[in-house]
Structure 1
């Protein structure tokens, strides 16, 4: 792997909150009707380093050359043997360079180390580029769909992969 992101994968800190909201705003801007709502559905990102992550969860970020967060990925363990990927976002100017794959593989390694045999995720139905990435990395869309009832009127597809 090459690229500036290799050495910058680290646990999130509270000082990253503004960068995370900026990252999500940039990512959501590509999709009409998608909004960042820190009050209801993104409360954990207001103090991301000190907000408890559920089920032994983690949130990692990676930085660009100037020290700004340019991507993130989170995971937790909702039940024994299962890990769940959350909050995979890559800034638009960093896409297509392997950063998303790098983050997913890091999550998969961590999940295996913690004893997970399967990784699951939910992805907004509008995020078709992400769906292609998950397919290339061996994830299968299960057919399950859920509506979030959030400010963006989001519906999500369910994906899974045996580890």
Structure 2
């Protein structure tokens, strides 16, 4: 399986929306409302550049099969929008995508990487914990259509 990793572009919108809808379909009650809750998906490169962050996509045969971004936060960076197509999970995509953010954080001399993840995304929690993130002690409610409750995770960098 050949996967190409590249910087996200604004014209990735359709592929990103398709990927995230497919990911959400695997979890009861998850709804993607792009226009009201995630409008940045329509202009992902511009959005992350405006935050001072970066965004990457993973492509297989021209289709977006994974993505990740980060934005600066006090003392570090926050992972945003880590998604991997369910048909090809557990093949290293999530690890490679996380590596991109971790490498960027080290270059920026960050002290930590943080993230919030839906309590339903058990596979993602396992990935983060294998990578040295500590969490599940703090939660927040988003009051969105999916009625999301998220766990906080943090990893201290050397």
Q: Which residue of 2 aligns with 1:68?
A: 63
TM-score by length of 2: 0.94
Q: Which residue of 2 aligns with 1:93?
A: 87
Q: Are 1:54 and 1:76, in contact at CA under 8 Å, matched by a contact in 2?
A: no
In structure 1, runs of 5+ residues without a counterpart are none
The 5-angstrom pairing of residues 14-163 of structure 1 reads 14-64=10-60, 66-79=61-74, 81-141=75-135, 143-163=137-157
C-alpha displacement at 1:142, in angstroms?
Answer: 5.1
Q: In 1, Cα distance between the equivalents of 2:54 and 2:71?
A: 6
Cα distance change, pair 91–54 in 1 and its aligned pair in 2 (3 A)? same
Cα distance change, pair 60–119 in 1 and its aligned pair in 2 (3 A)? same
Structure 1 segments, 4+ long, off by >4 Å, are none
User: RMSD value over aligned CA atoms?
Assistant: 1.3
TM-score by length of 1: 0.91
Cα distance change, pair 142–125 in 1 and its aligned pair in 2 (3 A)? closer
Q: In 2, Cα distance between the equivalents of 1:83 and 1:27?
A: 24
C-alpha displacement at 1:41, in angstroms?
Answer: 1.6
Q: Are 2:53 and 2:71, in contact at CA under 8 Å, matched by a contact in 1?
A: yes
In proportion to residue count, which structure has more helix?
Answer: 2
How many residues of Structure 1 are paired with residues of Structure 2 in the alignment? 157
C-alpha displacement at 1:50, in angstroms?
Answer: 2.9
